[in-house]
């Protein structure tokens, strides 16, 4: 699960996008612990010292702080949100609102990591003229707390003069996404890349009709 964060014009507010549906429709605000009793998630968020207001929308949770700083609050909030959604607990206790499922399927199959993957598609391997995701050069994308994205990728051939550009380009593309604070791109040649790793679309583009294995 990957949770993005979005800065707000008001620096005391921060928006969290868990990549899952939070409310089926509308918005719901909680101004204190008493109001938060209607939501297990809001309750847990108010338990964090410094949280003064919580608002749920269809795909986001906006938290307002009254004290502390985001550097310390953010990891705690990310932990609560992640734990809540991973356990599949409901967002609201109200029966009438129970159609809002915390464990509702994400808007797209890959969740927010899908956004990262999509962003990496603008990075092309210059020689092949095709994006690094569909070429199968991106082995893994992982999200960590604090807006950290870790990308493991390779190049078609070790020592390629484009290697540094591809690595930096992947970092730039992922880092430009809202809520991403830090991108770590690791290169690996284990396993070595083969055309077999290409997407069906890429294989069709290059005329590969035998699976692509060497």
Partner 1 sequence: MIGASLSRWSMAYFAAALIALFAAEIMMTAGFGFPGATVAAPETLILVHVVAIGWLSLLMCGALLQFVPVLVVQPLYSDTLALPALVLLVSGLAALVLGFLQLGGYIGTSFPFLAAASVLLGCGFALIIWNLGRTLAAAPKLPLPAQFVTVGLVCVAATVTLGIIFALVLGGTVNATSLLVLTGIGRPIHATAGLGGWLTFTAMGVSYRLLAMFMLAPDLERPTTRAALLIGTIALAVAIAGGVIAALTHGNPAIALLAAFIGGVLALALYGADVRHLYRARKRKNIELNSRMTAFAFASLAASVVLIAVLLGLGQLEEHIGAVVFLVAFGWLSGLGLAQLYKIVAFLTWLECYGPILGKAPTPRVQDLVVEPRAVKWFRLYLLAVWAGEIVLLAGLPLLFRVATAAMFVATIGIAGEILRTRRLHNVAAASRLPAGAQLPRLLISSHA
- Counting Cα atoms < 13 Å in the Cβ hemisphere of 94 gives 12
- Residue closer to partner 1 (CB basis): 27 or 164: 164
Q: Identify which of residues 31 and 192 has a Cβ nearer to partner 1 in the complex.
A: 192
Q: Which two tokens stand for residue 41?
A: 């998630």
Give me the sign of the Cα torsion angle 76, 147, 29, 22.
Answer: negative
Binding site for partner 1 (CB under 8 A): 122-124, 126-129, 155-173, 176, 187, 195, 206-208, 212, 214
Instruction: Note the Cα 18 to chain centre separation in Å.
Output: 7
Shortest spacing between CB 169 and partner 1, in angstroms: 3
Of 14 and 153, nearer to partner 1 (C-beta) is 153
Q: How far is the CB of 143 from partner 1 (least distance, A)?
A: 18
CB 75 within 8 A of CB 146: yes
Q: In the bound complex, what is the minimum distance in angstroms from residue 189's beta carbon to partner 1?
A: 9
CB of 170 to partner 1, least distance (A): 6
Tokens of 192: 């070595």
Q: Cβ closer to partner 1: 18 or 171?
A: 171
For helices 112-120 and 163-175, the axis angle rounded to 10 degrees is 140
């Amino acid at each position: 699960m990957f949770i993005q964060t979005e800065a707000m014009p008001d620096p005391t507010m921060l928006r969290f996008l868990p990549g899952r549906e939070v409310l089926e429709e509308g918005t719901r605000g909680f101004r204190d612990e008493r109001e938060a009793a209607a939501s297990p998630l809001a309750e847990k968020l108010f338990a964090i010292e410094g949280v003064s207001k919580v608002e749920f929308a269809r795909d986001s949770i906006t938290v307002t702080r009254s004290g502390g700083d985001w550097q310390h609050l953010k990891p705690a909030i990310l932990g609560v949100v992640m734990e809540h959604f991973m356990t599949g607990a409901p967002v609201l206790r109200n029966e009438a609102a129970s159609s809002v499922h915390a464990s509702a399927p994400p808007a797209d199959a890959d969740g927010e990591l899908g956004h990262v993957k999509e962003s990496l598609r603008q990075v092309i391997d210059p020689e092949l003229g095709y994006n690094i995701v569909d070429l199968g050069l991106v082995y893994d994308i992982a999200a960590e707390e604090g807006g950290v994205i870790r990308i493991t990728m390779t190049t078609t051939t070790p020592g390629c003069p484009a290697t540094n550009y591809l690595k930096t380009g992947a970092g730039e593309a992922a880092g430009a996404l809202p809520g991403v604070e830090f991108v770590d791109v690791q290169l690996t040649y284990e396993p070595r890349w083969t055309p077999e790793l290409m997407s069906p679309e890429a294989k069709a583009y290059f005329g590969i009709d035998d699976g692509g294995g060497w």
